Chain A
Amino acid sequence: MQINQEKTEKKSDRHGNPHNRIKLVNILRGAVFPLAVIAVWELAARSSLVNTYILPPPSEILKTFLHMLATGVWEEHLLASLRRLVYGFFLTIVFAVPMGILVGKARGFRHWVNPTLHFLQQIPPIAWIPIFMLLLGIDEASKVAVIVYASFFPVFLNTVQGVTSVDPKLIEVGHAYMLSPWKMVKKVYIPSAAMSIFVGLRLGLSNCWRALVGAELLGASSGIGYLIIEGRQLAQSDKIFVAMFTIGAAGMLIDFFLRKIENKLMPWKKMYQAGERK
Chain B
Amino acid sequence: MNKGLVEVRDVGKVFHSNWGSIEALKEVNFRCNQSEFVSIVGASGCGKTTLLRIIAGLEPPSDGEVLIDGENIDGPGYGRAVVFQEPRLFPWLTVEKNTTLGIQGVEKQDEVKKIVASSLQLVGLTQFSKAYPYELSGGMAQRVSLARALTFKPKVFLMDEPFSALDAQTRARMQEEIIDLWQKTGKTVILVTHDIEEALTVSQKIMIMSPSPGTIKEVLEVPFAYPRNPDGLEFINMRKTILEAIR
Contacts and interface: CB of A to CB of B under 8 A. Distances in A.
B58 A176 contact: yes
Given A177-B152, A178-B78, A278-B141, A170 B104 contact: no
Dominant SS among interface residues on chain A:
helix
A176 B78 CA distance: 9
Interface stretch (B14-22, B85-93, B224-232): B85-93
A271 B101 contact: no
Interface stretch (B113-121, B127-135, B196-204, B233-241): B127-135
A176 B149 CA distance: 10
A179 interface: yes
Nearest to A6: B135
A176 B159 CA distance: 12
Contacts of A272: 91-92, 134
B209 interface: no
A192 B175 CA distance: 32
A278 B104 contact: no
B45 interface: no
B242 to A, nearest CB: 29
Nearest to A190: B92
Contacts of B128: 3
B223 interface: no
Nearest to A265: B92
B131 A268 contact: no
A271 B152 CA distance: 28
A194 B58 CA distance: 27
B77 interface: yes
7 contacts: A170-B88, A170-B90, A172-B88, A177-B152, A178-B76, A278-B86, A278-B141
Interface of A: 2-3, 6-7, 169-170, 172-173, 175-179, 187-188, 191-192, 194, 266-268, 271-272, 276-278
Given A176-B57, A187-B101, A266-B92, 12 more contacts: A172-B88, A175-B58, A176-B81, A177-B104, A179-B101, A187-B93, A191-B90, A267-B132, A268-B132, A271-B132, A272-B92, A277-B91
